[in-house]
């Protein structure tokens, strides 16, 4: 759900708007009828997903082997 409030109302009812944002609402704050800011819930679930992806890549990297070849040798082989 999304609501729109004026800057004065946002200032006056800031604690209530924070509570509503923490429950998932998005509040657009306007000044003289022009939207200037948005207050909403944090997207905290993206950071753990990114961390899990990085850890997965690190685990995968540990399990891979080039059978004694170096990156430079493979690069040079591709240039021939």
pLDDT of residue 47: 62
pTM: 0.53
pLDDT at 14: 96
- Distance, CA of 80 to CA of 71 (rounded, Å): 15
From CA 48, how far away is CA 67, in angstroms rounded? 34
Which numeric CATH code is attached to 1-80?
A: 3.40.1620.10
Q: Look at 11 and 74; give whichever has higher pLDDT.
A: 11
Greater confidence, 46 or 64? 64
Per-domain residue ranges for the chain?
A: 1-80
Question: What is the C-alpha separation between 41 and 28, in angstroms, rounded?
Answer: 12
Average pLDDT, the chain: 86
pLDDT score, position 61: 77
pLDDT value of residue 37: 96
């Amino acid at each position: 759900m999304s609501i729109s409030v004026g800057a004065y109302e946002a200032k006056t009812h800031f604690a209530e708007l924070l509570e509503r944002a923490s429950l998932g609402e998005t509040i657009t704050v306007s000044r003289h009828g022009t939207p200037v800011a948005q207050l909403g819930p944090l997207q905290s679930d993206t950071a753990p997903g990114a961390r899990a992806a990085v850890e997965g890549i690190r685990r995968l990297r540990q399990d891979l082997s080039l059978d004694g070849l170096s990156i430079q040798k493979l690069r040079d082989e591709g240039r021939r």
